[in-house]
Amino acid sequence: MSDPISTGAEWTFELIEKYHAEIENIAEEYGLDTYPNQIELITAEQMLDAYASVGMPIGYSHWSFGKHFIKNEQQYRRGRMGLAYEIVINSNPCIAYLMEENTMMMQALVIAHASYGHNSFFKGNYLFRAWTDAEAIIDYLVFAKRFISECEERYGIDEVENLLDSCHALQNHGVDRYKRPYPVSMREEQERLEEREAYLQSQVNDLWHKTIPQKEAAEEEAKQQNFPEEPQENILYFVEKNAPLLEPWQREVVRIVRKIGQYFYPQRQTQVMNEGWACFWHYHIMNALYDRGKVTDGFMLEFIQSHTNVVSQPDFDSDYFSGINPYALGYAMMTDIKRICTDPEEEDKKWFPDIAGSNWQQTLDFAMRNFKDESFISQFLSPRMIRDFKLFSILDDEERSELEVTSIHNDSGYQYIRQALSNQYNLSMNEPNIQVYNVDVRGDRRLTLRHIPHNNIPLADTSAEVLKHLRRLWGFGVKLETLDAEGEVVNTEECAD
Amino acid sequence: MAQLIDRRPNAKGKSTVNRQRFLRRYKKQIKKAISEQISERSITDIDGGESVSIPKRDITEPTFRNDQGGVREGIYPGNKEFAPGDKIKRPPGGNGGQGRRASDSGEGEDEFVFDISRDEYLDMLFDDLELPNLQKNQLSKMTKSKSVRAGFTNDGVPTNINIVRSLKSAMSRRVAMGAEPRRRLHQLEDELQALQQEVGGDESRRLELEQEIEQLRKRIKKIPFIDTFDLRFNNFVQRPVPTSQAVMFCLMDVSGSMDQETKDIAKRFYILLYLFLTRSYRDVDVVYIRHHTQAKEVDEEEFFYSRETGGTIVSSALELTRDIVAQRYPPTDWNIYAAQASDGDNWNDDSPLCEQILAKQLLPQLRYYAYVEITRRDHQGLWAHYENLLQAHDNFAMQHIREHDDIYPVFREFFRKQTQ
C-alpha cells in the first residue's frame, strides 16, 4: 500500500498529472485502446461557450448558437441548471474539458470517464470508425468556419444566415445511412473545393439541359418516370447535388452542414452504450485507484456519491422521472454483461450461451466495438436487468381511450420488453421517414417528398416551415405527400413557387 | 502521456459573436418588447440592463418531427402493480403515457426571456434617434486626446524601438560605410594576385599591398553591427479628439395643478431624455429648472423628488433659462436644448408672454425646444400660443402625452433621426 496521491479537495496541475499517470496505467492494464489525450482546463464561462457550439471546439457563427448560449447562460445564472462536469470531443488527440470549479476527485473522475471511457469508445465503436474521422474533424471545422466567414464577407451575413437556417432545418435529414463517408483533410478539402464547384455546376447544368426537348431523348426519358430513380433519404445531399439554382458556394455550405450533422450522427445512436461504457470504466478505474491505496476514503465517498447520482434511475411515477436515463441503463447493462461472464446463473446460460462464463474484458470489448444502442439492447438486455429495473411496456393507441400494459418483467415478457426497448432507440422509428420521391424534371421542376408514417404517428406541424426552407434551397416548388399504410397518398402539403 | 493545457486565460466570449447575431436577427422583436416595457419601468433601475422577453414561436428552428398520436409503445422502469393486460386511463394532457416528447424548447414556456446589458438596452431603445440640429460649435472643450501613429523618429524610448527598421538602417549603413574600402580591397587583391603570378615580381610592392589589404580588412571589420545612429523608433503623437458639448435644460411645472401621476410621466420623459443625451454625447450638462409661480434652478434630486404647491407662471422658467444661457452657456460654444413638461396650466395672461420670450429670445439661441403637455383634459391657453410658434421655428416641437404608454412614442417622434 502506498500513500494517497492527495488528501485535499483542491486540484493543481501537478496533481492532475499524477492522477492521470495512475489512471493511464490502470486503463492500460484493463486494455483500453485510446487516442492520445489532450486535457484542457476551462472556466464555467468557457463551458457555456462549449455548450452553445454543441461541443464543437470551433464553430461557424450563427444566431442559433447564440440562442443556445443565451438560454444556457440564463438558466445557469439563475441556478436552474448545473453544468456538465466535462465535455469530450471525438477527435485525435481526444480533447476533454475539465472545469476549474471541480474538486480533485471530480477531475480524476472526469479523466477516467472522458479521457479513457469515451475516448476508447470513440476509437473502437464501428459507427464512429465508419462515420467520423477523428484525425480530420478539427481541420474540417476550421475549414468550415473560415469558408462560411468568407461567404459572409462576400455575399452578406443575411444571405448566409438564411441559407444556414434552411440547412439546419434539414440537418437531421442530411445523413447518409448506408454509405461510408470519405475522410479528407483540410488541405485536400481546400484543393478539391474549386474542382468540385465547377464539377457540381456542370452536373446540374447537365441535368437541366436534358430537359430541353429533343426528339430522341424525349422518348428515352418517357421510360424513366422518376428522378431520382430510387427515393433518396438524404435530402440535403440531394439538394447539394441537384438543386438547380444554387451557386457553388451555397452548395458548399449545404455540404458543410450536412457533414457536421453526419459527424454527430453516431453520437445520437450510441448514447446508452457510450455513457454506459464510460461509467463502467470510471467505476473500475476509481476502484482500482482505491485498491492501490492511491486515494483516501473521503475521496472514495465523494466519488460514490456522485457516481450514484449519475447512474440512478427514478421510477416512472417519481417526480424526477424524465425517461430512461441512458447513464443508468448503459452502466447497468455493461455491469450485467461482466456479471454474466464472471458469475453466470442458469438463466444466463440459457439466454446467453455464447458469453456466459467467457472472458469479460474480451466480451465487453466486442460489445463496445460492434453494436449501437438499438442492437446492443436487443442483444444484451438480460432478464435479470429487466427484473432489476422492473421494466414494463405500455401501448398507447390514439384510437383507444385507454392505455394498455402489454408486458411486464416476467418470463413471458422478457423477449417482448427487450424488443420494445430496442425499438425505442431505433432512430429511424423516432424520426419521421421522409424521402425525396420525385422531381418534375420536364415540368415545373417541383420537388416531391414522401412521408411514410410509422405506426400512424403524424408529422408535427413544423413541417410547413421546413418546407419553406426546402423551397428556398431547391429554388422551385416543394410538395410533401403523406402516405397511409396501403401506400396511398392521403395528405399533401405544398410550398409553391 | 496526456497533454495538459490551461485554457482558462484564453479569450472568453467565444459566443459573443453568436450572441450578437442573435440580437441582430431579433432586433425587431426585442425593440418591440423594450418599447412596451419602458412605460412600466421604474425610474430607479433605469440605469441597469433589461430583461427582454420575446415570443418563443418566433425563434424556434423547425425540423421534421413526429407529433403525438398514432400507435406508440414505451418502456418504463419501476413497475409496482401492473400486470399484462391492465388498462390505464389516459392521463390528462395526453402525453403522460408517452414519455416526454422531444422538444427543443426546453421548459416549454411561451416566452423566451433573457437579459441584455445596459449598453445593448440603450442601443435598442435609442436606435435611429439623434439630437436634432447638432453643430460642432467650436472645438473648445478638448476632453481627450488620442495617441496616433505618426511614422518613425530617430530618438525615443526603448519600448518604442522598431526592430525591423533599426536593423534595416543598420544594414544599409554597414553596406554604405564598407563600400569604398571593399572596392579598394578587391582592387588590391586583384593586383596582389597578379603580382604573385608574375615571376620575380616586385617584392616591396607586394609587402606594401599586403599591408594595405590587412589594414582595409581591419577597417571593414571595425564597422559596427549596430549603432545608436541606426535606431528607429515608432513615433506617436497626441491628437486632440473634438467632442461636442451640449447642455440640456429640463423645465418642469411643479405647481399644485400637477398631480402625482402627471409628474411621474414627466419624470420618465426626462429620464429617457437624460439617458439619450448621456449616450450620445460625452459632455452634456443638464440644468434642471422647476417652477410654479417662480422658477428655481435645482439639482437632479430635488427636481425629481420634491413637492411644491401654488399657481403657475411658465414665463418665470423661460426667463430663468434665458438668464442661465446668458451667464453660463454662450450659444457660440454650446449646443443648447430645452425640454419643458407641463400639464398645460398657466396663468392666462402669462401665455402670450411665454410665446414672446420663446420667439424673440430663446429659440434663436437654442438648437431644439421640445414641449410635452401631459394631460387628459383639453388643451388650454398655453398650447394655442405655442402652436403659433410651430410655423416660424423649425427647432420648436410640441407633443401631447395622455398616459404612460405615450411616452416612448412621443419621445421617438421628437428625436427621430432626420434624413437629410
Between B283 and A387, the more confident residue is A387
Q: In A, which residues are within 8 Å of B28 by CB distance? A: none
Q: Is residue B165 part of a domain?
A: yes
Q: In A, which residues are within 8 Å of B102 by CB distance? A: 430
pLDDT digits (tens, 9 = 90+) for A394-418: 998 888 888 899 999 999 999 999 9
Confidence of residue A28 (pLDDT cuts 50, 70, 90): very high
pTM over 0.90: no
- Residue B50 confidence (pLDDT) above 80: no
Show which of B170, B205, B235 is a domain's final residue: B235
* CATH (domain of B278): 3.40.50.410
pLDDT digits (tens, 9 = 90+) for B223-265: 899 888 889 999 888 876 655 677 888 888 887 777 777 777 7
| Same domain membership, residue B402 and residue B320 | yes
Contact between chains at B114 and A322 (C-beta distance less than 8 A): no
- Residue B95 confidence (pLDDT) above 80: no
Q: ipTM score of the complex? A: 0.83
Residues 6+ apart with CB under 8 A from A366: none
Q: Is residue B362 part of a domain?
A: yes
- Residue B282 confidence (pLDDT) above 80: no
Q: Among A42, A48, A173, whose Cβ lies nearest the Cβ of B7?
A: A42
| Same domain membership, residue B163 and residue B123 | no
Residues 6+ apart with CB under 8 A from B184: B216
- Residue A321 confidence (pLDDT) above 80: yes
Show which of B184, B203, B235 is a domain's final residue: B235
| Same domain membership, residue B50 and residue B118 | yes
Domain count of the fold of chain B: 3
Optimal mutation site among A163, A396, A482, interface B, most CBs of chain B within 10 A: A396
- Residue B140 confidence (pLDDT) above 50: no
Domain extent, residue B118, equals 24-59+112-127
Q: Is residue B256 part of a domain?
A: yes
- Residue B352 confidence (pLDDT) above 50: yes
Confidence of residue A313 (pLDDT cuts 50, 70, 90): very high
Q: Is residue B311 part of a domain?
A: yes
Distance from CA of A214 to the nearest CA of B (A): 39
Q: Is residue B67 part of a domain?
A: no
- Residue B381 confidence (pLDDT) above 70: yes
Contact between chains at B8 and A67 (C-beta distance less than 8 A): no
- Residue A178 confidence (pLDDT) above 70: no
| Same domain membership, residue B255 and residue B231 | no
Q: Is residue B102 part of a domain?
A: no
Q: In B, which residues are within 8 Å of A430 by CB distance? A: 66, 102
| Same domain membership, residue B290 and residue B363 | yes
Q: Give the per-residue pLDDT at A75.
A: 80
Q: Is residue B403 part of a domain?
A: yes
- Residue B336 confidence (pLDDT) above 90: no
| Same domain membership, residue B279 and residue B197 | no
- Residue B43 confidence (pLDDT) above 60: no
Confidence of residue A202 (pLDDT cuts 50, 70, 90): low
Q: Give the per-residue pLDDT at A428.
A: 75
pLDDT digits (tens, 9 = 90+) for B186-224: 998 888 888 888 777 677 888 888 898 999 999 888 889
Q: Which of A93, A180, A192, A201 has its CA nearest to residue A147?
A: A192
| Same domain membership, residue B120 and residue B33 | yes
| Same domain membership, residue B358 and residue B279 | yes
- Residue B420 confidence (pLDDT) above 70: no
Q: Among B15, B60, B71, whose Cβ lies nearest the Cβ of A398?
A: B71
Q: Is residue B150 part of a domain?
A: no
Q: Among B78, B99, B102, whose Cβ lies nearest the Cβ of A315?
A: B78
pLDDT digits (tens, 9 = 90+) for A67-101: 888 888 888 877 766 666 778 888 989 999 888 88
| Same domain membership, residue B315 and residue B174 | no
pLDDT digits (tens, 9 = 90+) for A423-435: 999 887 788 889 9
Residues 6+ apart with CB under 8 A from A61: A145, A148, A149, A152, B17, B18, B21
| Same domain membership, residue B225 and residue B270 | no
Q: Give the per-residue pLDDT at A377.
A: 95
Average pLDDT over residues A379-390: 94
| Same domain membership, residue B360 and residue B327 | yes
Q: Give the per-residue pLDDT at B417.
A: 63
| Same domain membership, residue B407 and residue B382 | yes
Q: Give the per-residue pLDDT at B92.
A: 66
